């Protein structure tokens, strides 16, 4: 792996891209300085009916909104490959896999710890396989066993403070060049294609969440509280429907506004027709 503009362990260096997207990382090198925020209000009528049907067939471990959202995000990342790009060391890369990460609260209490969960998707995955994997990951996170990244951080925490600053400088260099040890970042959410946070599970509204200059993640998805909200039909009549607000923060350097607009259109299509999530992630959708 080259340190300068070569392929990384996690990404393929993109040479043949337009001049604007070649120059932007050079002019604007920091991810946090290049955030675009998209707010979406989603009608969950179809999702609610779909979940009711699925759970009648699968009473042992219920399907839920978060699993639907994770699967939908993984599908748009698969079908819209520019959304699965990242910028590191002022160069743009196509990520080698599609992945999603989230934090699991071990118990819903002030003193409850957190664990990191990381899903490596396959083209053949669908809502059923993602449902099973999330169940496995959440069960593991809520056990006594620590995820690899947390275990590595616990070791680093014991290093004397003076040496920690040097360790931090070395880590940032390794991060920039894609050479962080696998065990340290195995479940680091900021090395995923997308990070999701389910604020609705703790009764919080959706909103903006920043990206980070650490890692490679270019997409952050905030899922808000699920509740009844007013919707207007074409005649202006109001109807209360089950809904959720989504907040998407995206690195604007990886694509353009038109590409993002079509991506959101696909996301809406999937959530309005959740049965499409039963098909493989790489199966195309008309939208």
pLDDT in tens, 202-239: 888 888 999 999 999 999 999 999 999 999 888 889 99
In this prediction, residue 130 has a pLDDT band, given cuts at 50, 70 and 90, of: very high
Beta-carbon contacts of residue 135 (< 8 Å; ≥ 6 apart): 61
Span 57-85, mean pLDDT? Answer: 95
Scored b (16 or more CB within 10 A) or e, 187-217 reads bbbbbbbbbbbbbbeeeeebeebebeebbbb
Span 89-113, mean pLDDT? Answer: 83
Span 173-185, mean pLDDT? Answer: 91
Q: Kindly tell me if the per-residue pLDDT of 3 is higher than 70.
A: no
Phi-psi region of 172 (alpha: psi -120 to 50; beta: other; left: phi over 0): alpha
**What rounded mean pLDDT belongs to the chain?**
90
Domain covering 11-144+187-278, topology: Chloramphenicol Acetyltransferase (3.30.559)
Query: CA-to-CA distance for 220 and 190, rounded, in angstroms?
Result: 9
Neighbour count for residue 174 (Cβ, 10 Å): 14
pLDDT of 106 reads: 63
Out of 37-41, 87-91, 232-236, which region has the weakest mean confidence (pLDDT)?
A: 232-236
pLDDT of 109 reads: 58
pLDDT of 233 reads: 83
pLDDT of 83 reads: 98
Torsion of CA 276, 281, 282, 283, to 10 degrees: -20
Span 39-65, mean pLDDT? Answer: 93
Which two tokens mark 88?
Answer: 């590191």
Q: Kindly tell me if the per-residue pLDDT of 179 is higher than 70.
A: yes
Positive or negative torsion for Cα 117, 121, 125, 127:
positive
Beta-carbon contacts of residue 144 (< 8 Å; ≥ 6 apart): none
Angle at 265 between CA 98 and CA 229, to 5 degrees: 110
Span 36-62, mean pLDDT? Answer: 93
Angle, helices 127-141/65-79, rounded to nearest 10 degrees: 120
Query: CA-to-CA distance for 216 and 87, rounded, in angstroms?
Result: 7
In this prediction, residue 107 has a pLDDT band, given cuts at 50, 70 and 90, of: low
In this prediction, residue 2 has a pLDDT band, given cuts at 50, 70 and 90, of: very low
Nearest by Cα to 116 from 84, 85, 151: 151
pLDDT of 152 reads: 66
Q: Strand 98-105 vs strand 35-43: parallel, antiparallel, or unpaired? A: unpaired
Kindly report, residue by residue over 268-287, the tens digit of the pLDDT: 999 999 999 999 999 999 99
Query: CA-to-CA distance for 194 and 207, rounded, in angstroms?
Result: 16
Phi-psi region of 46 (alpha: psi -120 to 50; beta: other; left: phi over 0): alpha
Query: CA-to-CA distance for 146 and 23, rounded, in angstroms?
Result: 41
Rg of the chain (C-alpha set):
20
Q: Kindly tell me if the per-residue pLDDT of 6 is higher than 70.
A: yes
């Amino acid at each position: 792996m080259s340190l300068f503009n070569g392929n990384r362990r996690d990404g393929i260096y993109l040479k043949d891209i337009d001049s604007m997207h070649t120059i932007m990382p050079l002019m604007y090198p920091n991810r946090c300085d290049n955030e675009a925020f998209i707010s979406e209000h989603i009608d969950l009528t179809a999702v609610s009916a779909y979940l009711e049907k699925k759970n009648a067939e699968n009473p042992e471990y219920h399907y839920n909104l978060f699993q639907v959202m994770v699967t939908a995000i993984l599908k748009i990342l698969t079908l819209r490959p520019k959304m699965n790009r990242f910028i590191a060391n002022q160069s743009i890369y196509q990520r080698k896999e599609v992945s999603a990460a989230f934090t699991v609260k071990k118990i819903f209490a002030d003193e409850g710890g957190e664990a990191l969960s990381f899903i490596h998707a396959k083209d053949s995955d669908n809502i059923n396989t993602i449902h099973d994997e999330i169940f496995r990951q959440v069960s593991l996170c809520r056990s006594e066993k620590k995820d690899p990244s947390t275990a590595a951080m616990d070791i680093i925490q014991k290093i004397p403070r003076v040496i920690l600053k040097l360790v931090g400088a070395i880590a940032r260099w390794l991060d920039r060049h894609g050479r962080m040890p696998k065990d340290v970042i195995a479940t680091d959410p900021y090395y995923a294609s997308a990070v999701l946070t389910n604020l609705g599970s703790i009764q919080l509204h959706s909103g903006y969440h920043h990206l980070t200059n650490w890692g490679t993640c270019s997409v952050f998805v905030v899922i808000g509280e699920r509740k009844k909200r007013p919707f207007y039909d074409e005649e202006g009549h109001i109807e209360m429907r089950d809904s959720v607000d989504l907040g998407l923060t995206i690195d604007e350097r990886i694509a353009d506004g038109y590409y993002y607009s079509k991506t959101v259109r696909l996301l809406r299509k999937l959530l309005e027709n959740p049965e499409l999530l039963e098909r493989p992630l790489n199966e195309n959708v008309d939208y």
